Amino acid sequence: MTNGKKYVMYYPAWATYGRDFQVMDIDASKLTHINYAFANIANGECVLGDKYADTEKFFANTDSWNDPAGTLRGNINQLHHLKTQHPHLVNMISIGGWTWSSQFSGLASTQEGRKKFASSCVDYMLTYGFDGIDVDWEFPVSGGAAGMANSPNDRENFTLLIQALRDSLDLAGKQTGAYHELTIATSADPAKVYTSYDVPAISPILDFVNVMTYDFNGAWSTQTGHNAPLYANPQAMTPEFNIKTAVDTFLEAGLPKEKLIVGLGFYGRGWKNVQSNTDGLFAPANGASQGTWEDGVLDYSDLVENYVNKNGFIRYWDDVSKVPYLFNAATGVFISYDDEESMCYKAGYVRDMGLGGGMVWEVTSDYQKALQDLSYDVIVGGADACHF
All structural domains of the chain, each given as residue ranges with its CATH number in brackets, are: 6-265+339-379 (3.20.20.80)
pLDDT at position 69 is 77
- Is the full-model pTM beyond 0.85? yes
DSSP characters over 98-152: TTS-TTHHHHTTSHHHHHHHHHHHHHHHHHHT-SEEEEE-S-TTT--STT----T
The residues annotated as belonging to the active site are 138
Question: With bands split at pLDDT 50, 70 and 90, how would you rate the model's confidence at 383?
Answer: confident
- Chain segment 2-25, per-residue pLDDT in tens: 579 999 999 999 999 999 999 999
For residue 385, is pLDDT > 70?
no
Residue 172 has pLDDT above 90, yes or no: yes
Whole-number pLDDT of residue 1: 44
35 neighbors 361 (Cβ within 8 angstroms): no
What mean pLDDT do residues 162-190 have?
A: 97
Q: Which residues contact 313 (CB under 8 A, 6 or more apart)?
A: 307, 326, 327, 328, 333, 335
- Give the C-alpha separation, 77 to 63, whole Å: 9
Average pLDDT score over the chain = 96
